[in-house]
Structure 1
Amino acid sequence: MTQPTPLQRPFTTMSVLVREHATQRPTQRALMHGERVLDYAGLDAAMDRIAAALARDGVRPGEAIAICASSSIEYAAVYLGAVRAGVVVAPLAPSSTPDSLAGMVADAAARILFTDATVADVLQPVRDQLAATPIVTLDGSDAGQPYQAWLAPAGTPVTEPGIRPEMPLNIIYSSGTTGTPKGIVQSHGMRWAHVSRGAATGYGTHAITLLSTPLYSNTTLASFFPTIGLGGTAILMAKFDAGQYLALAQQHRATHTMLVPVQYQRLLAHPEFDRHDLSSFQQKFCTSAPFSPALKAEVLRRWPGALTELYGMTEGGGGCLLFADQFPDKLHTVGRPATGADVRIIDDEGRELPPGSTGEVVGRSAAMMNGYHNQPEKTAETEWHDAQGQRFIRTGDIGRFDEDGFLVLMDRKKDMIISGGFNIYPSDLEAVVREHPAVADVSVVGVPSERWGETPVAFVALRAGGGATAQDVLAWANQHLGKTQRLAAIHEVESLPRSAIGKVLKRELRDRITGA
């Protein structure tokens, strides 16, 4: 009897998929980093040794480990080896503060912390707090037990637990741009949904995916898991560099990539961009931050292959897809709901709004988080239920559907400015300011005002040699903005503060004004 292909099954684990690839195409490249290559046979064997080592150390299925390191083959192997063991992975940002790192390790109840030399300075102040957590160093540095010494011997028997779709696979901690990071629990079923929909965007055994965002980010994992799950090759970059990215893309004939908007901006601005052969690209993805229509248009014009914008949350729910090359007249939108996604608009009282109305975006799909780890109240706050009792995830974004069913985002609900009783969306103001030829980057935030309650203020990075001052831009912008939208001030900055995946840290900008 013919075995069903992975995508014909209702559910399959990453462990099973890698084992099958190792059997069917053992010498195919799975992971690449620099000059190093690990094929599927090697990845499968490494996962066995990692799963066996976790069992030896008493880490039971359902318990957690944490990884805080730069992207590497060892990082990816430990992630997947833990999945084989049924152990939950908490990937943490190396840019975390020491206290935040210790807090996340404690919140996840991580049994082992995997790290490397890049986080040595972060670890040092909290070594006492982490004293009960064994540390394994992926690069063999002296912060803990070297990875190679920690691994179980090759051939050690592994007993794989039965994995059900609802069981947790990983805990992704939010960036903390709006406060203390929350642990977002994603299940095996949620990751399977990411893998199973990957074939529709060309992932498969031929796929060569260039990943330059970090492995702790869901942005990266949303591309990493379909690549490995469907038998492709993942090329890992420990740190993004535009020149190196272009060289790797050309050298390895990359077919897929996941980038955030600021990376597209830097790549297109690179003086050697147009001299590289990027014709191998089939799909380029973008997510995690607002993607301006002008930048989308420039990518379409200068970079071969399809461009797909993914709109959604790490928490999951109803995502949207914009196939930008197919709908060049819809670049101001984030596309239509993805197959199987139910996306709706609600008002402040939680009432569903009719088509064309503006309100908060909520959604549901097969890819939805279990909840926030150890925070049932926060979980309840982010959920909305329709009249039939179906569970939706609240995005916190304000938007509306146009007449063709494409979602137009206005702004983050928390970023909306209420000035003199009027709702002002920073994204509208940013779009106007960005049109000034001297402006390289801009972000608008609301700050307290005695007269208006709140008032909008812009932070701009000016182009070198642009021939305009911040005051020039302010005068120009206020001529082009509506009366209720006018900016109270523009502050010039060298660059906008961003997270590791390119999100503007608006809280930091507000703090510069309020002195918080």
Structure 2
Amino acid sequence: MPEFQTESAPASPASGDTPAFGTLPGRVAAHAQTRPEHVALIDDRRSITYGDLDRRVNRAVAALQRDGMARGDVVALCGANAIDYVVVMLAALRAGGTFAPLAPSSTPAALGLMLDNCGASFLFVDALGHGAVDAARERPALIGVSMNGDDAYQPFEAWLADPDMPPAPVTPDPDTIFNIIYSSGTTGAPKGIVHTNALRWPQIAGSTVSLYDADCVTLVSTPLYSNTTLVSFMPALAAGGTLVLMPKFDAGQFLALAEKHRATHAMLVPVQYRRLLDHPDFDRTDLSSFQMKCCTSSPFGADVKAEVLERWPGGLLEFYGMTEGGGSCMLVAHEHPDKLYTVGEPMPGHELRIIDEQGVEIDRRQTGEIVGHSGFIMRGYHGDAERTRATEWYEPETGARFIRTGDIGYFDEDGFLTIVGRAKETIISGGFNIFPSDIEAVLREHESIADVAVFGIASERWGETPVAFVTLVPGADTNAETIQAWANERLGKFQRLSDTRVVESIPRNAIGKVSRNDLRTIYSASA
């Protein structure tokens, strides 16, 4: 199991020096020189070495430049995890530009808003990304390329520059935008979160927590348009390891790939852990190669953490933070089995405070909104100064910029952070604040419940009242009325459920967050 190191930056693979600034494409180029035959990427169709990856990226850079790309131009991608998806990302950065990964599950209307917001000059799609093709029809200036060879746009292979056409060198600029990531939030319109090259470099170099080395095999099962994926993908690639790309998560396939490739690392979201642990092949799959598993993006139950530690070899890290940046926490679960109900301690160089509803700082052992400050803070929401200001909190004495998380929580006496819920999801019933996570925790104790989500609906009597959607374990012999009666016997007066629905699945996005808007839409349609 690797040790956790705090350092300014790891040694460059090319020189052994410690650079103050570098780039992800630069790291790939260095590995192409020192270990060209080492496998860099594996997807569901093929694999590619560092030498071939670097050459393919150069062909893509030359093609972008041939088609008029200038420094700062934006390259949008909409598709599944694949080798050429990574090639385009790296090429956009090497050409001095920005990449904007778009979620294929978004509607054409939403994708159109994203394309307008980021001002993309190029659009790369695969079969999953046809919603973006529909959106781009009203934006004829976009240059489109099909990464899977269909007829939506010119095929990727035909678009690539000739191998003997070298790209023009571009000096990396720390202030250039690295990416514009559209929020995976479950409410409201997507926001384009801006990260610069300088901000991303410490994450690429692994300067906060060194997990990856040149021998790592990282299984990538969350989408590359998510920051959840990028924060593990980038340092693993920069370290010279091998990354196995899953186009879509499937528990059985994950287990088979982990055993086949002797995976050492994975970043997963809580719902994936639950599906893996419940899979009939889990206990007969050889997972002994794992050194570290990571988790982030949504609440991770203490019971699930304990089960992972018991049944899955290697360590377990939980990260708490936002794509917007600010302050982050890390729970080294295998070292603190008595703190599994928390999300850990602030990471080195990260500061977190607790504020009340008026924005005034309170004792961190009291419950309030979490705000955070660190070297990793977004430049802002692209083209949206108003929403950027709304997410900021400034320390009165020093003027230091903090990011408001929207999460409600408190620190215990040992400095570990517990998350109570989301401020926007708080249900105010009879004048009392009710956190859906508290009700969900009670419901999860029922032996027949596999998954649960609680949300508030309007109530003439109480203002708001809690409603639960639940899914049942296979073969469960119960119903919604029985579950509700069982839960209400254990809940406080103002927490009691006014309605419970048994459903086939809980609507979640690609990184496992419950979609509260979809819950309300489904409930309203059926009420």
Q: Same fold (TM over 0.5)?
A: yes
Count of residue pairs the alignment pairs up: 513
Match of 1:5 among 11, 20, 26: 11
Q: Report the 3-state secondary structure (helix = DSSP H, G, I; strand = E; otherwise coil) of the residue aligned with 1:301.
A: helix
Query: How far does the alpha carbon of each residue in 1:43-64 deviate from its partner, in whole angstroms, 9 at most, with x for none?
Result: 1111211111111111111110
User: Counterpart amino acid of 2:331?
Assistant: L
User: Counterpart amino acid of 1:264?
Assistant: Y
Query: How far does the alpha carbon of each residue in 1:13-59 deviate from its partner, in whole angstroms, 9 at most, with x for none?
Result: 11221111111111111111135111111111112111111111111
Partner of 2:522: 512
Mapped contact 1:71–1:215 kept (Cα < 8 A):
yes
Partner of 1:63: 73
Q: Report the 3-state secondary structure (helix = DSSP H, G, I; strand = E; otherwise coil) of the residue aligned with 1:442.
A: strand
Q: 1:315 to 1:123 in 2, by over 3 A?
A: closer
Q: Report the 3-state secondary structure (helix = DSSP H, G, I; strand = E; otherwise coil) of the residue aligned with 1:191.
A: helix
Give how far 1:491 is off.
1.2
Partner of 2:438: 428
Q: 1:357 to 1:4 in 2, by over 3 A?
A: closer
Match of 2:53 among 33, 43, 48: 43
Give how far 1:233 is off.
1.1
Partner of 1:104: 114
User: Counterpart amino acid of 1:484?
Assistant: F
Q: 1:433 to 1:405 in 2, by over 3 A?
A: same
Partner of 2:415: 405
| CA distance in structure 2 between the aligned counterparts of 1:198 and 1:231, rounded to whole angstroms | 15
| CA distance in structure 2 between the aligned counterparts of 1:82 and 1:470, rounded to whole angstroms | 51
Mapped contact 2:125–2:133 kept (Cα < 8 A):
no
Mapped contact 1:48–1:81 kept (Cα < 8 A):
yes
| 1:213 to 2:227 alignment | no
Q: Report the 3-state secondary structure (helix = DSSP H, G, I; strand = E; otherwise coil) of the residue aligned with 1:177.
A: coil
| CA distance in structure 1 between the aligned counterparts of 2:304 and 2:207, rounded to whole angstroms | 25
Partner of 2:488: 478
Give how far 1:4 is off.
8.3
Give how far 1:230 is off.
1.4
Partner of 1:369: 378
Q: 1:367 to 1:111 in 2, by over 3 A?
A: same
Q: 1:79 to 1:344 in 2, by over 3 A?
A: same
Match of 1:287 among 252, 273, 296: 296
Mapped contact 1:86–1:160 kept (Cα < 8 A):
no
Match of 1:490 among 485, 500, 504: 500
| 1:134 to 2:139 alignment | no
User: Counterpart amino acid of 2:299?
Assistant: P
| 1:326 to 2:335 alignment | yes
Mapped contact 1:384–1:394 kept (Cα < 8 A):
yes
| CA distance in structure 2 between the aligned counterparts of 1:191 and 1:464, rounded to whole angstroms | 44
Mapped contact 1:341–1:363 kept (Cα < 8 A):
yes
Give how far 1:10 is off.
2.2
Identity %: 53
Partner of 2:188: 179
| CA distance in structure 1 between the aligned counterparts of 2:22 and 2:451, rounded to whole angstroms | 43
| CA distance in structure 1 between the aligned counterparts of 2:446 and 2:398, rounded to whole angstroms | 48
Q: Report the 3-state secondary structure (helix = DSSP H, G, I; strand = E; otherwise coil) of the residue aligned with 1:136.
A: strand
| 1:148 to 2:139 alignment | no
Mapped contact 2:10–2:206 kept (Cα < 8 A):
no
| CA distance in structure 2 between the aligned counterparts of 1:360 and 1:199, rounded to whole angstroms | 25
Which segment drifts farther, 272-281 or 54-63? Answer: 54-63
| CA distance in structure 2 between the aligned counterparts of 1:158 and 1:289, rounded to whole angstroms | 41
| CA distance in structure 1 between the aligned counterparts of 2:360 and 2:389, rounded to whole angstroms | 17
| CA distance in structure 1 between the aligned counterparts of 2:134 and 2:85, rounded to whole angstroms | 23
Query: How far does the alpha carbon of each residue in 1:45-100 deviate from its partner, in whole angstroms, 9 at most, with x for none?
Result: 11211111111111111110100011110000110111111111000011111111
Mapped contact 2:96–2:173 kept (Cα < 8 A):
no
Q: How does 1:310-389 map to 2 (within 5 A)?
A: 310-386=319-395, 387-389=397-399
Which segment drifts farther, 191-200 or 439-448? Answer: 191-200
| CA distance in structure 1 between the aligned counterparts of 2:501 and 2:10, rounded to whole angstroms | 59
| CA distance in structure 2 between the aligned counterparts of 1:4 and 1:199, rounded to whole angstroms | 10
Query: How far does the alpha carbon of each residue in 1:447-470 deviate from its partner, in whole angstroms, 9 at most, with x for none?
Result: 111111111111111223222211
Which segment drifts farther, 456-465 or 301-310? Answer: 456-465
| CA distance in structure 2 between the aligned counterparts of 1:166 and 1:289, rounded to whole angstroms | 31
| CA distance in structure 2 between the aligned counterparts of 1:232 and 1:443, rounded to whole angstroms | 38
Which segment drifts farther, 123-132 or 138-147? Answer: 123-132
User: Counterpart amino acid of 1:5?
Assistant: A
Which segment drifts farther, 176-185 or 218-227? Answer: 176-185
| CA distance in structure 2 between the aligned counterparts of 1:338 and 1:43, rounded to whole angstroms | 33
Match of 1:457 among 467, 470, 482: 467
Match of 1:438 among 445, 448, 452: 448
TM-score, normalisation: structure 1: 0.96
| CA distance in structure 2 between the aligned counterparts of 1:513 and 1:259, rounded to whole angstroms | 29
Match of 1:265 among 269, 274, 286: 274
Q: How does 1:240-259 map to 2 (within 5 A)?
A: 240-259=249-268
User: Counterpart amino acid of 1:49?
Assistant: R
TM-score, normalisation: structure 2: 0.94
| 1:395 to 2:405 alignment | yes
Give how far 1:123 is off.
4.5
| CA distance in structure 1 between the aligned counterparts of 2:442 and 2:21, rounded to whole angstroms | 47
